[in-house]
Amino acid sequence: MRKNASITLLSVGHACVDVYQGAVASLVPFFVAERAYDYAAVSGVVLAASLLSSVVQPLFGALTDRWPMPWLLPAGMLLGGLGVALSGVSGSYALTLAFVALSGVGVAAYHPESARVARLVAGGSGHRAMGWFSLGGNLGFATAPLLVTTVVAGGGLALTPLLVLPALVGSVLCVPVLRALERRQPPGPGAAVTTGGDDKASFVKLSLAVVCRSIVFIGLGTFISLYAKERMAGSTAAGTAALLVLYLGGAVGSVLGGALADRWDRVTVCRWSCLVTVGSVAGVVFVPGPALYLFVAATSIGLYVPFSLQVTLGQDYLPSRVGTAGGITLGLAVSIGGLVSPLIGCVADATSLRTALAPLVLMPALGWLLFRTLPEPVPPSRSGTVTPVPGGDSAVAASPTRPDHR
């Protein structure tokens, strides 16, 4: 199977599994309308989807560093779909939390191994290929509001079992890619995309920057539909449109990030995207009227330009443990933003939603400060070791050639 075909199928599969990350936030207005959940209660639902994913995803990454587990791709999809499908079948709040937590575990199982497989299929670096792979996930997020509204609006939460269909489709599509990769790759440890020295300090700083991004994205993803509804005179359609814009902007940002990284280094692109996001988040919170949608789109693009770049940066900072790197940059650091959602909900219940969202402006500014301290790593070759140094250059030891990262 050709590389482009494999990346396309992986991207579609990524869309199918990330539907379930977007679906949880998309179900929030229906939980409010049908079950009278308050802000704190819906924040708990998002937390349940994020908490286990935050803890478990690095564990799955560590396992895939020792043993290849390509079966986690279809299995994770099916588990993620099953949890969301069951979340609406019972009026019990405890069962709802349990089902969305189950979905979170499935999503956690999928991502570290899928990032390893995508990097192998892309040929090691492949910023554009990884950008297209990330695009699939963003399209999944973007499709979630439309899918959930189409399924649930007519018949209520009792129709959520129909939401398992994307998982069934995605699990089938990834099988030919895994078979082709199995024929290409000899049996052995699952981590070996590259080898070289680990830069743990840079990886920690990168992870903190990803946490800052996550807090903004999950905070807005949880409350933007309710916030837009408040700003647009109580229109449910206005809230759904805002959530859709948030996710579609992410699709644009993912592809744009890969293209920009081919011209400038990844750290520079991430740093400038943080600056853009500071202004756009402020616009979302403080600028009145329909301009809200423009600022939501700009915020989403700014948050997603660095998304795939952060994944490959993490893999290059920890080249001996790319599964763990993927589990943290795609899992722990991303999902941990969900831990802040209940705090936002509590502040919103006590004051107003605008007041609760205002501190999100600070998060991309902190991300910018962290990226200012990071070096640009050269992906290490199999014959040598690359050590990132401040300023974006890298020293190569015991290697006859220096790979070009531009």
Q: Mean pLDDT over residues 213-219, rounded?
A: 86
User: Rounded to the nearest 5 degrees, what angle is found at the Cα of 75, between the Cα atoms of 185 and 175?
Assistant: 45
> What six digits make up the tokens of 140?
């999944």
C-beta neighbour count of 256 within 10 angstroms: 17
Q: Mean pLDDT over residues 137-149, rounded?
A: 81
Q: Mean pLDDT over residues 378-394, rounded?
A: 43
Residue 401 one-letter amino acid: T
Gyration radius from the chain CA atoms: 20
* Model pLDDT for residues 353-365, shown as the tens digit of each residue: 888 888 888 999 9
Q: Please tell me the total number of residues recorded for the chain in this structure.
A: 406
> What six digits make up the tokens of 382?
């199999």
Question: 25-34, 62-71, 341-350, 378-387: which has the minimum mean pLDDT?
Answer: 378-387
Q: Tokens 């409010």 belong to which residue? A: 32
What percent of the chain shows pLDDT beyond 90? 9
Nearest to 94 by CA among 62, 48, 135, 50: 48
Q: Give 32's pLDDT tier (boundaries 50, 70, 90).
A: confident
Answer for the pair 77, 106: CB distance below 8 angstroms, yes or no. Answer: yes
Answer for the pair 28, 3: CB distance below 8 angstroms, yes or no. Answer: no
Mapping DSSP to helix (H, G, I), strand (E, B) and coil, where does residue 386 land?
A: strand
Which CA distances in Å does 81 have to 98, 122, 198, 290? 14, 27, 35, 34
Answer for the pair 43, 344: CB distance below 8 angstroms, yes or no. Answer: yes
How far apart CA 35 and CA 29 sit, in angstroms, is 10
Which CA distances in Å does 46 have to 73, 158, 278? 23, 19, 24
How far apart CA 103 and CA 100 sit, in angstroms, is 5
How far apart CA 105 and CA 23 sit, in angstroms, is 15
Residues 6+ apart with CB under 8 A from 153: 30
Answer for the pair 280, 360: CB distance below 8 angstroms, yes or no. Answer: no
Pinpoint the alpha helices (H) of 156-265: 165-184, 200-231, 236-261
Angle of helix 93-122 relative to helix 127-155, nearest 10 degrees?
150
392 has a pLDDT exceeding 70: no
pLDDT number for residue 338: 67
Nearest to 180 by CA among 117, 270, 104: 117
Most confident of 234-238, 331-335, 399-403: 234-238
378 has a pLDDT exceeding 80: no
337 has a pLDDT exceeding 80: no
pLDDT number for residue 326: 75
Question: 211-215, 314-318, 384-388: which has the minimum mean pLDDT?
Answer: 384-388
Question: Between these two residues, 381 and 6, which has the higher pLDDT value?
Answer: 6
pLDDT number for residue 78: 93
Q: List phi, psi (to 5°) of 290.
A: -65, -15
**Across all residues in the chain, what is the average pLDDT?**
78
How far apart CA 335 and CA 109 sit, in angstroms, is 13
pTM summary value: 0.67
Strand partners, 386: 396
DSSP state of 186: P
pLDDT number for residue 333: 64
First-to-last C-alpha distance (Å) of the chain: 27
Mapping DSSP to helix (H, G, I), strand (E, B) and coil, where does residue 378 land?
A: coil
* Model pLDDT for residues 269-322, shown as the tens digit of each residue: 998 999 999 999 998 888 877 888 899 899 989 988 888 788 888 888 888 787
pLDDT number for residue 334: 63
pLDDT number for residue 127: 66
Q: Tokens 């699709």 belong to which residue? A: 251
Question: Between these two residues, 41 and 400, which has the higher pLDDT value?
Answer: 41
177 has a pLDDT exceeding 60: yes
Residue 110 one-letter amino acid: Y
- What DSSP string describes 89-105? S---HHHHHHHHHHHHH
Residue 86 one-letter amino acid: L
* Model pLDDT for residues 229-246, shown as the tens digit of each residue: 877 766 677 777 888 888
Domains annotated for the chain, with CATH where assigned, are: 3-397 (1.20.1250.20)
328 has a pLDDT exceeding 90: no
pLDDT number for residue 397: 36
pLDDT number for residue 402: 32
Q: Mean pLDDT over residues 18-30, rounded?
A: 82
Burial class (CB in 10 A: 0-12, 13-18, 19+), 262: exposed
Burial 132-154 (b: 16+ CB within 10 A, else e): bbbbbbbbbbbbbbebbbebbee
* Model pLDDT for residues 74-101, shown as the tens digit of each residue: 888 999 999 888 988 877 888 888 888 8
Q: Mean pLDDT over residues 246-272, rounded?
A: 82
